[in-house]
Structures are given as C-alpha cells and as structure tokens.
Amino acid sequence: MSNIQFANSATPIETLTSEDGVTTTNIIAGEIAGSLGGSGSVVVTSYLGATAYQGIGGDVAPGVRYYVNCVDDSATQISAEATASFLMIKNTGKIYNSQTALGVTVPVTGDHVLVTLVNTTTNVLAFLAPGESFMMHIGGTALANHPVDCSKIKVQSYEGDGTAAAAADHIAVEFLAVD
C-alpha cells in the first residue's frame, strides 16, 4: 500500500527591541508560549497519473515537474485531476517559462499566489509568498465520501499587499495531486 507522509508545524514569534532600539531578538510569543504541529499519512492508489493531473513524476519520468502558469488576470485550475486524497501547491518564486522549465526569479511585484476554492474573490484557501506551500489531504477511508475536488482549486498571481498583479506577472506553480 502506497502512502504520503506529511508534517507541518507553526511557531508563533514576537520580536523584542532593546531599550536603545538597536538590537532585536525573536522569541516564542508569550501569549502562545509554544509551537503547534502535526503529522500523519494518507493512503494513495498510484503515483502513475498523467503529469498534468499529478504534477510531479507520473507518466513522464520520476522527478519531472509539471508547472502551472499562474497568471494575473484569471484563476487557473491547479490540476486536471478530478479528485485527490492529497494535494500540495507550492509558489516556486520563479517566472513561468514552460510546463517543464522554470524561468528567472519573480520580481518583488506580483510574486504571491492566491489559492482559492471556485473563484478569485471569495473562499480563499491560502496566500503564498515565494517558496511557501499549501497542503490538503483526506485520510483513511474517507476519500470515497469526501475527496479533495481538484477541479475547484484555483491559483492566481497577486502583489504581496493583496492587490492585482501586473499583466506580465506569471508565476510557475508546482503541485502534487494524488488519489
């Protein structure tokens, strides 16, 4: 039986500044006083999906990535897969060059990826800076009843402040979608 093992963690940080305003120190936020994390695994049926569906590897070759062109003027469906038990989306921080090649580093403007459910203005799932990722999964036998509907997960490029990106801001987004 194949599976994907995953983990995530979050450490709330606050920055303290010395009385003279010269030195700063990062500490765990006093109000939270700790970190939060979790891990698990998701059963998957196959890693041999078409690359446009799966994103990495699949029917092409091990490790080959299929990049989605995340554009500024319309929401783009992340995967051609209908449903998945695991979906991970990553802002590569690179300009989209082709489905299999990254371009240069994205300029500071238009370097964020908005991940939404259904459309670009409501149901926001994540807002990813370069290098950040977002993950969804369905564990156990729940896949038959509650799969991740990949047809409704969309990406679009935005400025870091949340305003619309310029016409030339096309980000290469990588993903892994597996049933």
Distance, CA of 29 to CA of 4 (rounded, Å) = 32
Distance, CA of 59 to CA of 54 (rounded, Å) = 9
Tokens 């695991």 identify what position? 86
Q: Is 151 helix (H, G, I), strand (E, B) or coil?
A: helix
For domain 40-178, the CATH architecture is Sandwich (2.60)
pLDDT of residue 17: 93
pLDDT per residue, tens digit, the chain (179 aa), is 788 899 999 999 999 999 998 999 999 998 999 999 999 888 888 788 888 889 998 777 788 899 999 988 788 999 988 888 899 999 999 999 999 999 999 887 789 999 999 876 678 999 999 999 999 988 666 666 778 899 999 999 998 888 888 766 789 999 999 98
pLDDT of residue 118: 82
pLDDT of residue 152: 92
pLDDT of residue 46: 79
pLDDT of residue 78: 93
Q: Is 136 left (phi over 0), alpha (psi -120 to 50) or beta?
A: beta
Residue type, 115: V
Determine which helix (DSSP H) or strand (DSSP E) holds 84, and give its type and residue range.
Answer: strand 83-84
Domain boundary assignment for the chain = 40-178
For 119, other C-beta atoms within 10 Å of its C-beta total: 11
